[in-house]
Amino acid sequence: MSMPLPYQDVLAEVLVDEDSLQKRIAELGQQISQDYAGEDLLIICILRGAVLFLTDLMRKIDIPHTIDFMAVASYGEGARESSGSVRITMDIRTDIRDRNVLIVEDIIDSGLTLASVMELLEARHPKSLQACTLLDKTSRRKADVPIRYVGFDIKDKFVFGYGLDLDEYYRDLPFIGVVDLEKYQPSE
Ligand code: IMP
Ligand code: MG
């Protein structure tokens, strides 16, 4: 297996720096805390991209809440675009019936992944079901999916860092970067 390049070699530009991310996440945390004040809250993090966002966000939510994790895969692995139907590769362990559920995602592109996840979860009869995404590529939307909380609206560029990967690497970066497509062609 060949070694991945240092991130500097595939980075075209920093799109959202660390300070801007943390500032916005604090605002989202405050908003969520207000909206769910006095209510029970379960946050479902979609693996693996949303992990960094979840851990920073939950530290900015000052009401009691629980977390769980779900992993999904689009049918047609390796494709760069969502196929529209997802399959659960790791399910949550929590019974969500009659609970206020907030899905936390890294990025919404076509919206097809989130639409499928919401349909799957809705069938389990939560009390409420909302979504929160750090990044939103609204211009690419194919599915009309309701998203209550959005960190940043971004242009149609392939991004990485802060949970988002390029072929599984670079999730650790504390900022969101744009891929230099002349130097790196992501395979998904
Ligand atoms: P959607 O079903 O088209 O909304 O796809 C959303 C998923 O595609 C995200 O959870 C990411 O895994 C992936 N994705 C979409 N755009 C990007 C990107 O710019 N960088 C990294 N992953 C992305
Ligand atoms: Mg993802």
| pLDDT tens digits along 107-134 | 999 999 999 999 999 999 999 999 999 9
At 188, is the pLDDT very low, low, confident or very high (cuts 50, 70, 90)? low
Find, among 9, 6, 36, 30, the residue nearest to 130 by Cα. 36
Amino acid at 187: S
Residue 71 backbone phi and psi in degrees, to 5: -120, 140
| Rounded CA separation 159/162 (Å) | 10
Residue with tokens 């530009």, as numbered in its chain: 13
Q: For ligand 1, atom 19, name the residue with the nearest CA.
A: 158
In what side-by-side order are the strands of the sheet with 159-160? 11-16, 176-179, 159-160
Mean pLDDT, residues 141-165:
96
pLDDT for 27-85, tens place per residue?
999 999 999 999 999 999 999 999 999 999 999 999 999 999 999 987 655 556 666 67
18 Cα: distance to centroid of ligand 2 (angstroms): 20
Nearest atom of ligand 1 to the alpha carbon of 158: 19
How many CB atoms neighbour CB 9 within 10 A? Answer: 10
Residue whose CB lies within 8 A of the most ligand 1 atoms, among 109, 159, 173, for a mutation test:
109
Query: For residue 65, which of 91, 49, 45 has the smallest C-alpha distance?
Result: 45
Q: What angle do CA 102, 106, 112 make, to 5 degrees?
A: 80
Residue 3: per-residue pLDDT: 86
Contact between 84 and 49 under an 8 Å Cβ cutoff? The reply is no
CA distance 179 to 165: 10
